[in-house]
């Protein structure tokens, strides 16, 4: 008999009733160190007082109106994002994949309005992940995601990750945009070197095409800058954000320059819930903390500490682990033992990590975890690895 919850997930036998900072707690009181943060969502950990206050204050005042009316919390969050980034304008969604939908529509509309109606192709990369909507799966294009789902949304051109020649060859006068994650998440924590991101920007400028960055996973302080592309000094034309921006409340956004967004006039796009007062009240509280320089400096310091611990761990367990990769608090350990077994051994030692492609385990902890939490992470991962050797 089919379960009452559609069985599209293979879930771990863990169930939590409470969260405190970087810790998740089961009904019997067992505490797990959460190095997954709900897949890079809980950027400030669980039950952060400022977020709890923002949400409960807003819940007592007003939950939902509609985008038919002014929404001050949405305006405030858009202003914060515009102040802190390359963007001139923001549209709010509820998720990352909805942000992908709009990014694709925006890029196509841009060219349509410029009279270049055939410029509809979006170039994407192997190993990428852009969510599970029709545009998201067509963009990523992996067999695992698209098989059996009928005709795919057209207009996506897939190129191998980091194959500059193939990319250059793929650009035609039908190309509207290039869409890429500055650090691949699901694909196994693969950072695009800064030089390559710069090269991509140059290539886009040379051909006059749009650069869309998917910072759904790597954005919101995850790499130690507010957004990952800031490390390379370039800016995109359009950027997708979600996951961390709501700190656990479902929220996403598309950020764009005035030029890239020029086709998106009244009536061209919309959302019932996107930018709702609850989500945006929390989003404002997240932004106030995460965009702070001193906070980001601490993220970088702690990320260095965590990485150092992981290097030590690899040296002690060469039969289980191979190498560390990634950047900031977006770290991957390439494994020798099967990654799912290591994740399961972590559960037994009450530490949570997340598997990714390429036999990698991901560490995407709350950005504000403590130095003690980092020491505890090393101890527990060490015990997990020892149980496998
Ligand atoms: C998670 C993710 C998405 C999809 O976000 P949802 O909120 O699950 O729709 C898109 N892009 C990247 C890079 C992601 O990590």
Whether the CB of 359 sits within 6 Å of ligand 1: no
Burial bucket for residue 384 (CB in 10 Å: 0-12, 13-18, 19+): buried
DSSP annotation string for 75-91: HHHHHHHHHHSS-SEEE
Residue 39 Cα to ligand 1 midpoint, Å, equals 9
Integer Cα distance of 304 and 193 in angstroms: 18
Q: Residue 28: pLDDT band by 50, 70, 90 thresholds?
A: very high
How far apart are alpha carbons 97 and 86 in whole angstroms? 21
Give the model's pLDDT for residue 389.
80
Contact 229, 371 (CB under 8 A): no
Reported as a single tens digit per residue, the pLDDT across 144-179 is 999 999 999 999 999 999 888 999 999 999 999 999
Domains of the chain: residue spans and CATH: 16-34+293-386 (3.90.1150.10), 50-290 (3.40.640.10)
How many C-beta neighbours within 10 Å does residue 15 have?
Answer: 9
For residue 267, what pLDDT band results from cuts at 50, 70 and 90? very high
CB of 190 within 6 A of ligand 1: the answer is no
Strands of 57-151, DSSP E: 89-93, 121-125
335 bridge partner residues: 321
Q: Would you say the C-alpha torsion 64, 65, 68, 74 has a positive or negative sign?
A: negative
Q: How do residues 356-378 score in pLDDT, each as one tens digit?
A: 999 999 999 999 999 999 999 99
Phi-psi region of 387 (alpha: psi -120 to 50; beta: other; left: phi over 0): alpha
**Beta bridge partners of residue 159, listed in sequence order:** 125
> Is the entire prediction scored with pTM above 0.95?
yes
Distance 132 CA to ligand 1 centre (A): 8
**Tokens found for residue 125:** 């990369």
Ligand 1 center–CA 260 separation, angstroms: 22
95 in ligand 1 pocket by Cβ < 6 Å? yes
Q: Which of 131, 136, 184 to mutate to test the pocket of ligand 1 (most atoms within 8 A of CB)?
A: 131
Tens-digit pLDDT profile for residues 67-97 = 999 999 999 999 999 999 999 999 999 999 9
């Amino acid at each position: 008999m089919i379960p009452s919850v559609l069985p599209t997930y293979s879930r771990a036998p863990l169930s939590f009733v409470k969260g405190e900072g970087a810790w998740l707690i089961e009904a019997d009181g067992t505490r797990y160190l959460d190095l997954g943060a709900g897949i890079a969502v809980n950027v400030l950990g669980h039950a952060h007082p400022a977020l709890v206050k923002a949400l409960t204050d807003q819940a007592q005042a007003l939950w939902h109106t509609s985008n038919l009316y002014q929404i001050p919390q949405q305006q405030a969050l858009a202003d914060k994002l515009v102040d802190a980034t390359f963007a001139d304008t923001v549209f709010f969604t509820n998720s990352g994949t909805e942000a992908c939908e709009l990014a694709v529509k925006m890029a196509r509309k841009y060219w349509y309005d410029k009279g270049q109606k055939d410029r509809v192709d979006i170039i994407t990369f192997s190993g990428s992940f852009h969510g599970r909507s029709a545009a998201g799966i067509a963009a990523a294009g992996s067999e695992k995601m698209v098989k059996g789902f009928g005709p795919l949304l057209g207009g996506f051109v897939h190129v191998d990750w980091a194959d500059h020649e193939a990319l250059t060859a793929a650009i035609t006068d039908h190309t509207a945009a290039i869409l890429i994650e500055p650090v691949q998440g699901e694909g196994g924590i693969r950072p695009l070197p800064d030089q390559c991101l710069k090269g991509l920007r140059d290539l886009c400028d040379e051909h006059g095409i749009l650069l869309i960055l998917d910072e759904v996973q790597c954005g919101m302080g995850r790499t130690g800058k507010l957004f990952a592309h800031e490390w390379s000094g370039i800016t995109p034309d359009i950027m997708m954000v979600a996951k961390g921006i709501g700190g656990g409340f479902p929220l996403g956004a598309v950020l764009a320059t005035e030029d890239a967004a020029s086709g998106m006039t009244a009536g061209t796009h919309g959302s019932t819930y996107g930018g709702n007062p609850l989500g945006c009240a929390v989003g404002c509280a997240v932004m106030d903390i995460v965009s702070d320089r001193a906070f980001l400096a601490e993220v970088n310091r702690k990320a260095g500490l965590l990485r150092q611990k992981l290097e030590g761990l690899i040296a002690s367990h060469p039969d289980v682990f191979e190498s560390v990769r990634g950047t900031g608090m977006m770290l991957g350990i390439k494994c020798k033992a099967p990654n799912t077994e290591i994740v399961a051994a972590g559960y037994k030692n009450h530490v949570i990590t997340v598997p990714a492609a390429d036999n990698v385990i991901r560490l995407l902890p709350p950005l504000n975890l403590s130095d003690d939490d980092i020491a505890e992470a090393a101890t527990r991962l060490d015990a997990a690895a020892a149980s496998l050797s």
